[in-house]
Chains A and B, each alone.
Chain A
Amino acid sequence: MDDRISRIIIVGGGAAGWLTAGVIAAEHRIDSQAQHPFELLLIESPDVPTIGVGEGTWPSMRATLQRIGLSETDFVRECDASFKQGTYFRNWQTGGGQGDDDSYSHPFTVPTDYAEANLAPHWLALTDAPQFADAVTPQTGLFADYLAPKQITTPEYAFVVNYGYHLDAGKFAELLRQHCTEKLGVKHVMANVSQINAAENGDIQSVTTDRAGDIAGDLFIDCTGTNSLLLGKHFKIPFQSRQAILFNDTALAAQVPYTEEDQAIQSCTHSTAQTAGWIWDIGLPTRRGTGHVYSSAHISEDEATAQLLAYIKETAGDKAAAGLVPRKIPFQPGHRREFWHRNCVAIGMSSGFIEPLEASALVMIELAAGMIAEQLPPTRDVMDIVAKRYNQKFLRHWDQIVEFLKLHYVLSARNDSGYWQDNRTAASIPEKLSEQLSLWRFRSPWHQDAGAVDDLFPTASYQYILYGMGFSTVPRHTCSHHQDERQRQASELFRKNAARATQLRQALPGNRELLNKVREFGFQKL
């Protein structure tokens, strides 16, 4: 019997389903006439609305879109997308207050010359230094000024400074659907899955739908969101809660209109800490997207709503806040114990979800789809080996997300609520993170801390959070002969960085200005 994997069924539309379809279809030519035909079919429920997971992407999205064959101009125009250069954190360290500037940035650009030089110890040695991120990259000043990461003459997907996107997830799914079905040969069935049919060996043989009959396949990809229809409901793969570490379990989302037509558009995510969570604020060309993500154990819904509305009033005026009713999205922070089981793999919220801090939802979909596309098992025989590796890898990714997000809370000195105090209790901190923090008191994270080549968060990101939040690394004094020379080189890099920042500030257009030009003229391909 031919056990070749030639028919892939994706259950669920939304960004997860269509992004996965796009990445796989771009890698494997769909051709039913070929000697070994390959088919990709996506079943989308006409009745289940999609939750817009993650309206922020990482820079990796540029390569993903390019791989799928979408033009950046079409993407920006169709998805109401804007350019994102990182995250600006407010009130995370002390909670701000009168005249206290509690803010720092996590830019997408790694520190200058990061491959060869670790600037952190030299920055720590400076007295009267600018903030860490400001000293080591020119990018923070650019997004502080609402500037774009490139010019209209920069080819599509290329950059002057590294960037990802803010986007409308619903429109994104729509564009991907159109591209997948029209250009990449993905078949699209609108139907509800009513039953999952097991084969003798325990695999999924087919799914029964309400208006398209039974649909059989060799590999089933579960993109059914929190329903987790295949992996969770059918295979009963247990869910592992991470709430003991990351408390947030509810989001209140609200769209905020711009007060003026040509108002500047943020080119980074703003994240403002509250008493029991934080508020996200992203700028799309047509509106802002805001939301309060919090721990329901630490604050009531009414109070959380009041904090969100107060934030909107403060940043957009009373008129914008009047009559706004935020949409409530409860969620369970955590993930499945296993993501690929037998001939079924879950991608997106069906595999897990953790609060949107650091916007890891879409990048996890990109990584999952990428790994499946690249390592698609040729036969059922070897599928279990690929599945095992996939599970190990994604468990590592989830662990790292949990640890990296927790870092933001552990480093806070806020004492104004039980939420912040509970976040620092030893029992709530993963062991690996405590160990890292112990080491980093004596030396800064750098290449030696890179666990694997496919680390989700690079060590530079740890530097930005640690030193942005005032973490202190005090080196043991080993008198190096090269000490003075290195410090001189570092000073030179700091100086070069400041000069580059000035130069870029003059050369780059405003985020809105560039977006308008993309709408009018588009980017060139080269």
Chain B
Amino acid sequence: MSQYEVLNKEKHRHLRIKTGYGAALGDAVMYAMTYPTEFRDIQSCYPILFTKDPNTGGFFAAAVLGFEPDQNLFLQDNSWDASYVPAVLQRQPFLIATGGEGDNESPVVSLDLDHPRVSQDEGEALFDAEGGATEFLNQKIALLDKLHRGLQHSRGFIDTLLKHELLEQITLDIAFNDGRKESVQGFYCIAEERLYQLKGDVLESLNQAGYLQPVFMAVASLSRMRDIIERRNRLRL
């Protein structure tokens, strides 16, 4: 279970956050949510696909990390074997909550006290002896801010993809070297054929909204699929 609280200088003064990576720190996930302004970093390491929020059915972009639930093929001996770690994982255990009501909704930094990274005695401090935010916390807050803006931008991106029917379902049928087969369902990718048929004014509107580049980055990112299949082949199960 998760227990969310708004970050509070007094209340959370002595909390520490464990750094590093590992299954025990909550990093064993099959995919990580991402957003268009992060695609440039993501596509250099991971395939970008789209999937649905099980609670709302709404689409979001995801960096694929494995082929089955809880499988993250980039976790190795408590380290992360890639040059970039998706922001939604880097920011743990923090998140943005929207406080206030109605039009006054303002983003506030919160954290999940039940997250395995939260500790009383191990890891990075959040506040210094004077009660000021540490460099560590400031970095996390900056990251959260970027993530928050990125996810907001992402909504229009997804709506636009759907409006122009630029998503299509794919089933990943993969036979691994050890003879096992996996049929991964529930993922969608950019419908390339339709993308290449888009006409001038639509392309221009996509470009102006900042959506055109991430669309092509998502297309290009699929070449990373080979890499994660290789990672899966190297696993000894």
User: Which listed residue, B167, B168, B186, touches A153 by the CB 8 Å rule?
Assistant: B186
When C-beta atoms are compared, the residue in chain A nearest to B191 turns out to be A526
- Decide yes or no whether B56 CB sits under 8 A from chain A: yes
**Contact between chains at B56 and A517 (CB < 8 Å):** yes
**Contact between chains at B188 and A521 (CB < 8 Å):** no
CB proximity of A526 to chain B, nearest CB, Å: 6
**Contact between chains at B57 and A521 (CB < 8 Å):** yes
- Decide yes or no whether B59 CB sits under 8 A from chain A: yes
Given contacts A152-B54, A524-B59, A526-B188, could you give 16 more A-B pairs where the C-beta distance is less than 8 Å? A151-B54, A152-B57, A153-B53, A153-B54, A153-B186, A154-B57, A517-B56, A520-B56, A521-B58, A522-B57, A523-B57, A524-B52, A524-B162, A525-B162, A526-B167, A526-B169
Q: Given A153-B186, A526-B188, do A521 and B56 touch, yes or no (CB 8 Å)? A: yes
Q: Give the docked Cα–Cα distance between A371 and B101 (Å).
A: 55
Enumerate A463-520 residues with CB–CB distance to B below 8 Å: 517, 520
CB proximity of B193 to chain A, nearest CB, Å: 15
Contact pattern, B 159-186, Cβ under 8 Å of A = 1, otherwise 0 = 0001000011100000000000000001
Residues of A within 8 A of B188 (CB): 526
Residues of A within 8 A of B56 (CB): 152, 517, 520-521
Residues of B within 8 A of A517 (CB): 56-57
- Which residue, of B55, B168, B186, has the highest number of chain A Cβ atoms within 10 A? B55
Please classify how large the interface on chain B is, using the bins under 10, 10 to 19, 20 to 34, 35 or more: 10 to 19
A residues neighboring B (CB under 8 Å)? 151-154, 517, 520-526
- 13 example contacts (A-B, Cβ-Cβ < 8 A) are as follows A151-B57, A152-B57, A153-B53, A153-B186, A154-B57, A517-B56, A517-B57, A520-B56, A521-B58, A524-B52, A524-B58, A526-B167, A526-B188
Residues of B within 8 A of A525 (CB): 162
Enumerate B85-112 residues with CB–CB distance to A below 8 Å: none
Residues of A within 8 A of B58 (CB): 521, 524
CB proximity of B162 to chain A, nearest CB, Å: 7
User: Which listed residue, A152, A522, A524, A526, touches B55 by the CB 8 Å rule?
Assistant: A152
CB proximity of A148 to chain B, nearest CB, Å: 13
When C-beta atoms are compared, the residue in chain A nearest to B56 turns out to be A521
CB proximity of A151 to chain B, nearest CB, Å: 7
When C-beta atoms are compared, the residue in chain A nearest to B58 turns out to be A521
Enumerate B131-166 residues with CB–CB distance to A below 8 Å: 162
User: Which listed residue, B54, B57, B168, touches A524 by the CB 8 Å rule?
Assistant: B57
When C-beta atoms are compared, the residue in chain A nearest to B59 turns out to be A524
Contact pattern, B 29-56, Cβ under 8 Å of A = 1, otherwise 0 = 0000000000000000000000011111
Contact pattern, B 48-85, Cβ under 8 Å of A = 1, otherwise 0 = 00001111111100000000000000000000000000
Q: Give the docked Cα–Cα distance between A521 and B52 (Å).
A: 12
Among all A-B residue pairs, the 7 with the closest Cβ atoms: A152-B57, A153-B52, A521-B56, A153-B57, A521-B57, A524-B57, A153-B54
Q: Give the docked Cα–Cα distance between A351 and B58 (Å).
A: 44
Q: Give the docked Cα–Cα distance between A325 and B147 (Å).
A: 59
When C-beta atoms are compared, the residue in chain A nearest to B55 turns out to be A152
Residues of B within 8 A of A154 (CB): 57
Residues of A within 8 A of B186 (CB): 153
CB proximity of A9 to chain B, nearest CB, Å: 36
- Which residue, of A151, A523, A524, A525, has the highest number of chain B Cβ atoms within 10 A? A524
